[in-house]
Structure 1
Amino acid sequence: MTSTPPTPPTPPSVLVFAASDPSSGAGVQADLLTVASLGCHPLTAITALTVQDTVGVQSIQPVGAELLEQQARTVLEDMPVAAFKIGVLGSVENVLAVAEIVSDYPEIPLVFDPVLASGRGDELSGEEIIQAMREMLLPQTTIITPNAPEARRLAESDEDEGEPAIDVCAQRLIEMGAQYVLITGTHESTPEVINTLYGPDGVIRRDRWERLPGSYHGSGCTLASAIAACIAGGASVEEAVRDAQDYTWQSLKNGFRAGMGQFIPDRFFWARGEEDAEPAAEDKGDGQD
């Protein structure tokens, strides 16, 4: 008598709303690589098509909101989703479409990477899109992961006389509805990269990472997708932020220069003999500065 082999466990699924990047450095391709590397099953709803390489973005063409909605709702009706991750949306109509979709699934954690420009500075989200993000997506966001310039732009006020402090930006984003805010320091002129996680009561953790030489294509996509994958796997927000930062730093440390522009993070560094790599963060998980 033969026994039936056990059914393999189903990995948790992460549904990504993002634009396609032909170089696979950033965008939905970066999300796919990251989510899969961390043991989850990636699902996608393409928001826009881009023409870009490791140097910069040449053009972006949003997908129609109806087609975007059909992509997402088809997979949502077919299989359970453990986390949402949002990247470039491409148009106001797509912001509204995604906001309506995720509002039907309030129990699913939402990780929002508000990509406003490429690494070279090519604008990917105009003021109308940003305002729609503030009004429609932030109130539904579990954690938003802007870099410092993105945080300032999202949180700017007509009353500001200069650039608002990062702590002020985080508080404003929480007041707009985000449960947690992780502001990354990759664009700041500090010896180390300092990433700070905020909650309703202020700083939860502040992590310092060795600032690596060079410039990387898709580091923000990698971090946000890693957070989503960790949450999908059962981690708390704070645990997910801690582990995703370590994963992202290792992928950057092992990055490669495939083209003539920025380095591409190696999201599968662990499969190439780098298991002994040591994390470089000074863990401040107690919330102290």
Structure 2
Amino acid sequence: MTPNILSIAGSDPSGGAGIQADLKTFSALGCYGMAAITALTAQNTRGVGAVHVPPADFVAAQIDAIFDDITVAAVKIGMLGSAAVVEAVADRLAFYKPPAIVLDPVLAATSGDTLAGEGVEQAIVARLFPLATLVTPNLNEAWRLSGAPRPFGPAQMREAADRLVRLGAKAVLIKGGDAGGETSEDFFLDGATEEILSAPRVNTRNTHGTGCTLSSAIAAFLGRGLPLLDAVAAAKAYLTGALGAAAALNVGTGQGHGPTHHFFALWPKA
């Protein structure tokens, strides 16, 4: 059966990040995608102009509508917008207990624009860390959530991951894409196993939504039955391919960060 994967995240009208990126990723990886929208944004490849966060009870109602009718194989959580929305999402997921939850603690867009209101960081740690199968912060998010020194090297990334596990995360993947260098290295820790996952760095400005794409790919592979570390490795390989093919797209003026090519393996090549 085709796995049904739910994204609980914000909307990106330009299609490169948020639920739009998640749904494209789910489809590209052979899953049926669904979405509960936690925030509406006015953004494009250059930045975020405005954010509207719906009432928390409406977010909860969307989640209820899915679980009341559809079998969910995995959940990906992205932008949540407000502490009240975090609480509502945590309450519903604690009730429904989906088999796998991938938490991407989105605090800012690729452009640097903030996407998290007051109290969101604390609520994510307190309410969602204990529920998540995997937490996938980037370097800045790992630094902010853990309180560790800013993680640029493997030692600092390990310290931040260890702190996040001690804060309640079952497993952590710190994404090293912003660190620079010839390779992109992510650090995985689940309290027992630690591993550095490395891939050649792709020289491209089309990095909008990379975190969304990676976390949703992990959720898709978990929904397809892969073990956690295998799902992480497969998702990283998928993202590398999507970044490498992104130049085939013509989205944006070139002044910002364009999207990755989610369907690089499926669409006819020029």
* TM-score normalised per structure 1: 0.86
1:49-75 alpha-carbon deviations (Å, 9 max, x no partner) = 000001101111101111111111011
1:86-143 alpha-carbon deviations (Å, 9 max, x no partner) = 0001111100000001101335210001111111110111451000001000111100
Whichever residue aligns with residue 16 of structure 1, its letter is S
- Residue among 82, 87, 94 paired with 1:91: 82
1:221-241 alpha-carbon deviations (Å, 9 max, x no partner) = 000000000000010101100
- Residue among 256, 262, 268 paired with 1:267: 262
Q: Which moved more, 1:25-34 or 1:120-129?
A: 120-129
Whether the 8 Å CA contact 1:257–1:264 is kept in 2: the answer is: no
1:114 and 2:105 are equivalent in the alignment: yes
Aligned to 1:227: 218
Shift of 1:263: 1.9
Shift of 1:82: 0.4
1:258 and 2:251 are equivalent in the alignment: yes
Shift of 1:211: 3.6
- Residue among 120, 126, 145 paired with 1:154: 145
Whether the 8 Å CA contact 1:171–1:202 is kept in 2: the answer is: no
1:263-289 alpha-carbon deviations (Å, 9 max, x no partner) = 211111012346xxxxxxxxxxxxxxx
Whichever residue aligns with residue 262 of structure 2, its letter is R
Whether the 8 Å CA contact 1:31–1:225 is kept in 2: the answer is: yes
Aligned to 2:3: 12
1:213-256 alpha-carbon deviations (Å, 9 max, x no partner) = 32411011000000000000010101100110011110111113
Whether the 8 Å CA contact 2:202–2:243 is kept in 1: the answer is: no
Shift of 1:27: 0.6
1:170-220 alpha-carbon deviations (Å, 9 max, x no partner) = 011111222111111111132211112111025134323324232411011
1:194 and 2:181 are equivalent in the alignment: no
1:42 is paired with a residue whose SS is strand
Q: Which moved more, 1:187-196 or 1:22-31?
A: 187-196
Larger radius of gyration: 1
* TM-score normalised per structure 2: 0.92
Whether the 8 Å CA contact 2:171–2:188 is kept in 1: the answer is: yes
Whichever residue aligns with residue 258 of structure 1, its letter is V
Alignment of 1:1-289 (within 5 A): 10-156=1-147, 162-163=149-150, 165-255=156-246, 256-260=249-253, 261-273=256-268
Aligned equivalents of 2:234, 2:94: Cα separation in 1: 28
Whether the 8 Å CA contact 2:3–2:32 is kept in 1: the answer is: yes
Unmatched runs of 5 consecutive residues or more in structure 1: 1-9, 275-289
User: Pairwise CA RMSD of aligned residues?
Assistant: 1.5
Whether the 8 Å CA contact 1:55–1:120 is kept in 2: the answer is: yes
Unmatched runs of 5 consecutive residues or more in structure 2: none
Aligned equivalents of 1:55, 1:75: Cα separation in 2: 33
Aligned equivalents of 1:182, 1:128: Cα separation in 2: 23
Aligned equivalents of 2:214, 2:130: Cα separation in 1: 21
Whether the 8 Å CA contact 1:95–1:132 is kept in 2: the answer is: yes
